[in-house]
Amino acid sequence: MSVIIDLPILKLITDASIIVQGVLAILVLVSLKSWWHIMLKSAAIRKAKFQTDECERILPFLGDPNNQDNDQTQNRRRLDHSGALKRIIDAGQIEFNKTKLAFANKGGGDASHMVDSARRAMQIAYQREMDVLESDLAFLASVGSVSPYVGLFGTVWGIMNAFVGLSNAQQTTLAAVAPGIAEALVATAVGLFAAIPAVLAYNRLTNEADRLAMRFECGIEEFANDLQRKSR
């Protein structure tokens, strides 16, 4: 004769111990926050990729003497909204102009020093842009690595309560131990539900941020070479 035990998920949660309910609440809040960061960071990286595409298309033509003046003006207007790479390039151009002016006031200077100064300024701007781009990724990594263990804590606590209840029961049946084990498994499931999307999002967003970083570094070197040619 088989015994059918009805264990609704919501009833398991409401009947669970305070410790298990606290674990579940923490995991749900962490999961919601991680999804919020995933959406915001995905949108930010998508915008950064689009802006970098615009900047890479326009920059090679800005210094081309064969372009018409109206084309150059239109390109500069489009470039005003080209994001991180444009800000990095601007930092190098501003530093180059400052160093060039300082050398001019002193009666001249080495062009390589001006380019090196511009490259350092671009590296500083690059680090700042990457810090913004990679913000909150550490939170996703923490959620992905810690959430299963938090869920496991709830699992251990639930199983422990189940065996304590079983030891106090006059008759040992599946019905006596099933609720405790079931609430323990719910904690494990919620921990995995919080961890898996965070890990997947962290890997994908980190890869896309690294690809953008490589494009920024290429842009820095290209602009430094352009400054080197112009300063000769």
Cα of 10 vs its chain's centroid, Å: 33
Comparison of pLDDT for 187 and 176, the residue scoring more: 187
What predicted TM-score, i.e. pTM, was given to this entire model? 0.77
Q: How far is Cα 13 from Cα 220, in angstroms, rounded to an integer?
A: 55
The answer on pLDDT for 80 being more than 70 is no
Under the banding of pLDDT at 50, 70 and 90, the label for residue 3 is very low
Q: What is the mean pLDDT of residues 140-147?
A: 94
Compute the residue count for the chain: 232
189-198 pLDDT, tens per residue?
889 999 999 9
Identify the pLDDT of residue 72. 45
Angle between helices 137-168 and 18-62 (to 10 degrees): 170
Tokens, residue 100: 């060039």
Q: How far is Cα 204 from Cα 210, in angstroms, rounded to an integer?
A: 10
Comparison of pLDDT for 29 and 228, the residue scoring more: 29
153-169 pLDDT, tens per residue?
888 887 887 777 666 65
The answer on pLDDT for 211 being more than 90 is yes
Tokens, residue 110: 């080495």
Tokens, residue 96: 């180059």
Q: What is the mean pLDDT of residues 86-98?
A: 89
Taking alpha carbons only, the member of 150, 152, 183 closest to residue 30 is 150
Comparison of pLDDT for 191 and 18, the residue scoring more: 191
The answer on pLDDT for 187 being more than 80 is yes
Cα of 155 vs its chain's centroid, Å: 30
The answer on pLDDT for 61 being more than 90 is no
Cα torsion 28, 34, 40, 42: sign: negative
CB-facing half-sphere around the CA of 75: CA atoms within 13 A = 16
Identify the pLDDT of residue 63. 45
Taking alpha carbons only, the member of 168, 161, 163, 150 closest to residue 18 is 161
Q: What is the mean pLDDT of residues 137-144?
A: 93
C-alpha angle 21-22-23 in degrees, rounded to nearest 5: 90
Contact partners, residue 111, CB within 8 Å, separation at least 6: 228, 231, 232
Contact 80, 105 (CB under 8 A): no
Choose from 7-11, 105-109, 207-211 the range with maximum mean pLDDT: 207-211
Contact 118, 99 (CB under 8 A): yes
Comparison of pLDDT for 140 and 62, the residue scoring more: 140
Q: What is the mean pLDDT of residues 134-140?
A: 91
116-128 pLDDT, tens per residue?
899 999 999 999 9
Identify the pLDDT of residue 23. 86
CA distances from residue 187 to 6, 33, 49, 141, 232 in whole angstroms, order as listed = 18, 18, 38, 20, 67
Q: What is the mean pLDDT of residues 45-68?
A: 73
